[in-house]
Amino acid sequence: MAVKKFEHVGIQVKDIETSKAFYQNVVGLELLDEMIHTNGTMKLAFLGIGGSIIVELIEGYNPDLPTEGKVHHVAFTVEGIEQEKERLQSLGVPLVWEEITTLPNGAKYLFFLGPDGEWIEFYEPAQ
């Protein structure tokens, strides 16, 4: 097993600028990184403490979910994401998408489903 630590919680938002301000000014997190997703439409912002990401804000995915559906996924940092994908497949774990996504900053991620259909992410930071 290659899980190293808890990575972050992804939260779907309607307006990323409003949410960034809230998580910085009210919650007290630092803005660590932001980017446009490789799909060209979703905006991502990563906030945390002392350089560690805690929250990922996601604009442009599906902000119209009920309050209890705003948390999009739980993420764990891993090493060797390609090997982890193979391990998940060998265990019969359903993947959300077949391909590992590489973000513009070089980080990689893979989503799979838990037993109740919850989304879980394995995340490998950029080297």
CA distance 100 to 79: 13
What's the confidence (pLDDT) of residue 49?
A: 87
Considering its fold, how many domains does the chain have in total? 1
The pLDDT confidence band at residue 103, using thresholds 50, 70 and 90, is very high
User: Which CATH number goes with the domain that contains 66?
Assistant: 3.10.180.10
Of 38, 73, 31, residue with least CA distance to 53: 31
Q: Structural domain of residue 107, as residue ranges?
A: 3-124
For 33-59, what is each residue's pLDDT tens digit?
Answer: 999 999 999 999 999 889 888 889 899
